[in-house]
Amino acid sequence: MELSDEKMVLTRNGYYEIQRELNEILTVKRPAVVQRIREARQLGDLSENFDYHDAKHIQALLEARVKELKAILAHAMIVEGALGNGCIGIGSKVTVKDLEEGIDDEYTIVGPAESSPSEGRISHESCVGSALMGRQVGDTVTVRTPGGSIHYKVVSVQ
C-alpha cells in the first residue's frame, strides 16, 4: 500500500484494530522471529539452512507491515458513523437487497485501510461503497462494476 501525505480514513474501531496489530507485531511476533533466527544461526552453515532463510523472510515481511501500519496511523483521520438523517457514511452498517437475485447483503462502510470484503467491510472508495455513500433507506442504487451493473435497494442503515 503506497501512502502519501494525504489523510487515511479510518473508523474508530479500525484505528484501534491497526494499533492492536502493530502492538502484537512489536511485542510478540518480532521477538519470536528474532529468537528463531538466533536459534537457526546456532545450527551452523547458513547457506543451506532453510529455517534461517525462512525466518529472515518472515522478519522482512513483519518489518514491511510495521512500516505500513505506522504510516497508516500517522496519517489517520477517524470518521464516525453515518452522515445523519439516516444517510450512509463511513462507519455505517448497511443492509441492501440485490433486486435481481433477491438476496440481502450486509456491509459496513469503512476506509480503504480496513476494508475486508470477505468480512463484509467495504471501502467507501469501492464501486459498491461509493454508490451507497449518502443514500438512505428505500433508495435504489445502481452499481457499475467491471462485471456489469448491480441494482440494490437500501433496506436498513445503522
In total, how many domains does the chain have?
A: 2
Residue 23: the pLDDT is 98
* Cell numbers for 135: 443514500
Task: Let me know if residue 1 belongs to a domain.
Answer: no
Task: Let me know if residue 44 belongs to a domain.
Answer: yes
Residue 85: the pLDDT is 73
- Contact (CB, 8 A) for 126 and 116: no
Residue 92: the pLDDT is 92
Residues 6+ apart with CB under 8 A from 124: 9, 90, 109, 110, 111, 112, 130, 133
Which domain covers residue 34, as residue numbers? 8-78
Domain CATH for 152: 3.10.50.30
Mean pLDDT per 10-residue segment, the chain (158 residues): 70 94 98 96 85 96 98 91 75 95 95 94 95 95 92 95
Strand partners, 110: 123
Distance CA 147, CA 123 (A): 18
User: Of 6, 152, 10, 7, whose CA–CA distance to 90 is shortest?
Assistant: 10
Distance CA 2, CA 28 (A): 26
* Cell numbers for 93: 452498517
Domain CATH for 19: 1.10.287.180
Task: Let me know if residue 86 belongs to a domain.
Answer: no
Same domain, 71 and 28: yes
Task: Let me know if residue 85 belongs to a domain.
Answer: no
Could you say which of 51, 78, 105 is where a domain stops?
78
Residue 6: the pLDDT is 77
Same domain, 97 and 147: yes
Same domain, 143 and 99: yes
Q: Which amino acid is at 114?
A: E
Task: Let me know if residue 2 belongs to a domain.
Answer: no
Residue 5: the pLDDT is 61
Residue 84: the pLDDT is 61
Tell me, rounded to whole angstroms, the distance of Cα 15 from its chain centroid.
10
Residue 71: the pLDDT is 95
Residue 67: the pLDDT is 98
